Chain A
Amino acid sequence: MDHNNDISGQDDYTKFLSREKYFSDHIVNNSRSMISIINRDYVYEKVNVPFCKAQKGMEESIIGKSLGDIWGQDTFQNRIKPNIDKCFDGATVRYEASFNIPQAGRRFFEVVFRPFPVESGEITHLLAETFDITDLKLSEKFASEKEEEFRRFETNLPIGFLRCTPDGMMMHANKAFLIIMDCEDENLIYSTNLRSYYAEEGLLDMHLEQLMDHKPKSFGRIPLKTCKGNEIVCRISAFMTFDESQNPSYIDFSFEDSSRELMLENRLLQAQKLETIGALAGGIAHDFNNILATISGYSELLQNDLPKSSAFAGNVAKIQIAVSKARSLTNQILTFSRQVEQEKVLVNVYEVLKETIGFVRSAAPSNIRIRSTIRVKDAPVFADPTQLFRVFLNLMTNALQSMEELEGTISVTLATVKGKKIQKELNKDIVADEFVLVTVRDMGKGMDPSLLRRIFEPFFTTREVGKGSGLGLSVVHGIVSEMGGEILVSSKVNEGSVFYIYLPFFRGYAPLTLIPEKNRKILFVTGNKHESRILSLALESAGYEMTLSYDPGHLNKMISDKKNSPDLIIYMSDAELVRAEDIICIYTDQKINTPCILISDSNLTSEEEKLVNSGIVSQQLTKPVSLREIISAIQVSIN
């Protein structure tokens, strides 16, 4: 309707009212808010244009309708009515709400209900004003999401971020930086200068100077000192921000801890080095065995020609002994270089470890205690038990030697660990599902990093020249690697060392092996010491039927039982009750020609020598003997 035309000719009051109505209608209808007047029956008595637009309706179609009709009974009863009732009680009510608007879908609103009393003061109506605050809400939400995103990015990334003044004073640092730098108190960091974390003096200033050209810079791996004084290496990048007059205002840094990366690189380098040395040493050992075979052959020919009483015969025998020592050395080198395939059987690490601990306990001096923590008693692996014994024995013997004059404890633990957990530690792409973990910890002298790097190299020894070949740990490394396992070591000078041996947990799949002589009966004459128990365990696992014999009486009985006579006799030199002479007697008295294998130390006793010369012994092996060696000897002897 057009008010202007009606104004002239009316009385002043009507004119005034009409003007007022014009203004108020103009204001109300041009407002961006939805404005309405609601009576006590919750019915709209007046609505403005934006209200109608939002509802896609005409003024006439809304006026007279109840709020329940417009907004739905549920929304009205639960969300609108309680607020309206408060307003009819005299309060101005403000709240935020979201409604579905026919035209625009879901929108956010700030709703204000104001009491709209009549002259008497009675609140018969209320004025509802609803502002669309969707855009505000959305931008608020967007901002807070962005902020949260950045915060998450900054706190969760394992990269240290920090901002410092052009002088290096710390302004801000994220959680990762604190973790990398081993800082427990965040506030402490703000009183420090970035310089104090640099291990090399003057390096930061050099970096700052380089940043002056307004370009972001990567400085590579930089040695740093943590809050606790530990040395670490971080990959550092930075960018300098300048103010309007081109003066530096602050510098942003990123710190990426690359100590682990460096450690893994070093370990890879070590592994490659060992591989190279192994290939080289293996090649030499191979050629050397040819030479040894020649020496041994000619000395045997010489021995054949000399009468046994000849003084020269003794000298020739010494050549033979030297050859057998050299042979054991080449064997060790071949084991290290993994050129000796191990004969593997299913074995419980617990059994082998138990025997090794028993053996070491009996040999340990009184100032050293050996404590074992067995977390699992079922630790199946696919391995040569005799080699495993050798690994554990070697590590424990080293532990004993590192503690020589010190009081203390050697701790041995057996546990299983999930492959996933140690994948990073082992630096392998493919790991077994589960590993058997044996640790050997000593409280000895420990080793510094330069020593630690080389301990698995063959011929590397810290002992005096002549004491020990320096092959021990290299052989251990070879055996463990050949099993698909891994050996790790950590050490601190004057605190001790820990060796970790990871062996793949056996899951029931066994590669084919060539042991054609299974189910043969073997009579094992032994003193039942730890080492022979392991060997017996190994042979049993390999499929042989083992009978143990400790005394001549039992031995005699076993051999005279013609129905169950053994296919082979193994005589181990640790048999205290059965002497080599007893074996000769039994063979002569019972007139048997069962093949016999002698396992002895490298220096034969005169009795053992007699046994060898008697022709009874078909194969003679020198300790330590591997399952592969003994099985070969059994095969040769039985055929």
Chain B
Amino acid sequence: MPGIMIVEDDNDLREMLKVSLTRRRFTVLEAENGKDAINHFKPEVTDLVITDLIMPEEDGLKVIMRLHELKPSLKIVAISGGGKAGPASYLNLAKALGADVVYSKPFSVNDLIKKIEELLEIEQGV
């Protein structure tokens, strides 16, 4: 199954995403912040990255730019939840920088998974 990296500084939310995705049999990798994500990125086993946009230690925009460089075919999902600079503009920027889809928190995890499966061209069906 495809590999997905979750970059999110909120432990509970990261855990929830991990549970949801492993249920759908994805291989899940985790990173607590942008720096970790960039340093421990494994292009050969990662097909998609879910990244928060506002995090300590390198924010999501940097993650999107850097990972896109490292693996141009990588699919990217950006999520954000109202930060200091305005989540909406961040999401738009994320999209401009190469995120395939953007969500603002709180989002529907079912929608998110549906979208991920679409992006990875996986046969759908609950």
Contact = CB atoms under 8 A, between A and B. Distances in A.
A295 interface: yes
A263 B46 CA distance: 60
Nearest to B81: A289
Interface stretch (A102-110, A335-343, A351-359, A493-501): A335-343
A519 interface: no
B16 A290 contact: no
Contacts of A297: 13, 16-17, 20, 106, 109
B40 interface: no
Nearest to B16: A297
B95 interface: yes
Most A Cβ at <10 Å: residue of B54, B85, B91, B106: B106
B25 to A, nearest CB: 14
Nearest to B112: A297
Nearest to B115: A636
Interface string A326-349: 010011001000011101000000
Nearest to B96: A514
Contact of B109 (A296, A330, A514, A639): A296
A292 B19 contact: no
A292 B89 contact: no
Interface in A289-317: 289-298, 300-301, 304
Contacts, number: 96
A282 B108 CA distance: 22
Contact of B82 (A282, A296, A304, A639): A282
A514 B96 CA distance: 9
Nearest to B14: A294
Interface stretch (B26-34, B56-64, B97-105): B97-105
Interface residues of A, number: 33
A296 B108 contact: yes
B125 interface: no
A301 B113 CA distance: 11
Given A293-B13, A293-B16, A628 B126 contact: no
A453 to B, nearest CB: 27
Q: Is the interface of A mostly helix, strand, loop or mixed?
A: helix
Contacts of B81: 286, 289-290, 293
B28 to A, nearest CB: 14
A282 B84 contact: yes
A285 B105 CA distance: 11
A430 B106 CA distance: 38
A30 interface: no
A222 interface: no
A296 B107 contact: yes
B84 A296 contact: no
Nearest to B52: A290
Given A293-B13, A300-B109, A636 B84 contact: no
B20 to A, nearest CB: 6
Nearest to B90: A341
A339 B110 contact: no
A272 interface: no
Given A290-B13, A341-B88, A636-B101, A334 B82 contact: yes
A75 interface: no
A300 B82 contact: no
Interface string B1-20: 00000000010110111011
B106 A293 contact: yes
A294 B15 CA distance: 9
Contacts of B92: 514
Given A293-B16, A293-B81, A301-B23, A341 B86 contact: yes
A632 B15 CA distance: 26
A171 interface: no
Contacts of B16: 293-294, 297-298, 301
A282 B83 CA distance: 7
Contact of B88 (A282, A289, A628): A628
A339 B109 contact: no
Contacts of A291: 10, 12-13
A635 interface: yes
Contacts of B101: 636, 639
A300 to B, nearest CB: 5
Contacts of A300: 20, 108-110
A511 to B, nearest CB: 11
Nearest to A279: B84
B12 A343 contact: no
Contacts of B20: 297, 300-301
Nearest to B54: A286
Contact of A289 (B91, B96, B105, B108): B105
Contacts of B106: 289, 292-293, 295-297, 323, 327
A292 B19 CA distance: 16
A300 B54 CA distance: 24
Nearest to B79: A293
Contacts of A340: 82, 86-88
Contacts of B103: 636
Interface in A260-290: 282, 285-287, 289-290
B84 to A, nearest CB: 7
A639 B118 CA distance: 11
Contacts of B89: 341, 514
A99 to B, nearest CB: 80
Contacts of B82: 282, 285-286, 289, 330-331, 334, 339-340
A478 to B, nearest CB: 12
Contacts of A295: 106
A635 B92 CA distance: 10
B12 A286 contact: no
Contacts of B108: 296, 300
Nearest to B86: A341
A632 B83 contact: no
A290 B88 contact: no
B35 to A, nearest CB: 19
Nearest to A292: B106
A327 B104 CA distance: 10
B83 A294 contact: no
Contact of A339 (B12, B23, B79, B84): B84
Contacts of B91: 632
A290 B126 CA distance: 26
Contacts of A632: 88, 91, 102, 104
Given A289-B106, A340-B87, A514-B92, 5 more contacts: A289-B81, A291-B12, A297-B20, A298-B19, A339-B86
7 contacts: A293-B79, A296-B107, A304-B110, A327-B106, A339-B83, A340-B86, A632-B91
Interface of B: 10, 12-13, 15-17, 19-20, 23, 54, 79, 81-89, 91-93, 95-96, 100-110, 126
Q: Top 6 nearest A-B pairs by Cβ distance?
A: A289-B81, A341-B86, A292-B106, A293-B106, A297-B109, A297-B16
